[in-house]
Amino acid sequence: MRKMNYQSPTLRQHVRDEIQRRILSGICRPGERLAQQSLAKELGVGQGTVRESLLELEWLGLVESVDRLGVFVGKLDAAHLAEAYEVREYLDGLAARRACAHASQSDVAMLKEMAERIWALSSAGRLEEMGAADRIFHLEIMSLSRNRILLRLAEGYRVLGMAVRAAREPRLVHEEHLGIVDAIRKNLPDQAEKLARRHVEEARKMIVLQAENDDYEPKWVVNTPDETRT
């Protein structure tokens, strides 16, 4: 592999994204040890860069550091995901509230178009594309918040964005999306925040319910080219 440039400002991001890709694609399995020296040699970077990248992934919950043993691929079970969704309730609520003050008519029209696309993909049974489109919809609202720290946090939780396949009625999800968009359009921050938080809360409740019934199996949604946009 071509040696990466140490001076590149995106070097650590490239390394982090590559390790992340291997974890989410199943190449690196839960419990597998991630040898920093081997990764550094394979990716053509210094061990310090790999170490920093793993620290970022540890913050996301994708890897776990064990004293004197090393860094291992983490186990993303229902409990971990439910915790992430609990935090996301507040993040999405704040984003929807702030979007009310910044969204233009064209922004609102785009959000509505996205919601309709999610519904169309769901109706067509294209679940992987639907899941990716859903995350883009929520990231767009985050972007409209015009809050850089909120966007940074959202980027982390995007990685934990899983599709809870067949967990919720698509029609209800569609109605909730349209309700959030309508509240933003009408500049109703309290309503927008309330609806956005409830939307995430319902997904979290379903994950918990499925876990209690031993019926939860996380499946990563395949990224689409458009999803790299933040």
User: What is the tens place of the pLDDT at every residue in 49-107?
Assistant: 999 999 988 887 789 999 989 999 987 777 777 888 888 899 999 999 999 999 999 99
Residue spans of the domains in the chain: they are: 11-73, 78-228
Q: Does residue 8 surpass a pLDDT of 70?
A: no
Select the highest-mean-pLDDT range: 9-18, 127-136, 175-184, 199-208. 175-184
Q: Average of pLDDT values for 165-175?
A: 80
Q: How far apart are CA 202 and CA 37, in angstroms?
A: 43
CATH architecture of 11-73: Orthogonal Bundle (1.10)
Q: Of 205 and 215, which is predicted with more confidence?
A: 205
Contacts for 213 with CB less than 8 Å, ≥ 6 apart: none
Nearest Cα to 137, choosing from 154, 170, 155, 112?
112
**Mind listing the pLDDT tens digit for each residue in 92-151?**
999 999 999 999 999 999 999 999 999 999 999 888 788 889 888 999 999 999 999 998
Half-sphere exposure of 19 (CA within 13 A, CB side): 33
Per-residue confidence (pLDDT) for residue 210, from 0 to 100: 75
Neighbours of 201 (CB within 10 A): 16
Tokens 């458009």 belong to residue: 226
Residue 221 has pLDDT above 60, yes or no: no
Q: How far is CA 26 from the centre of its chain?
A: 17
Q: How confident is the model at residue 229 (pLDDT cuts 50, 70, 90)?
A: very low
Asked, colleague to colleague, whether 11-73 and 78-228 share their fold, the answer is: no
Q: How confident is the model at residue 154 (pLDDT cuts 50, 70, 90)?
A: confident
- The amino acid that residue 120 corresponds to is A
Answer CATH for 78-228 from 3.30.420.40, 3.30.413.10, 1.20.120.530, 2.40.440.10: 1.20.120.530
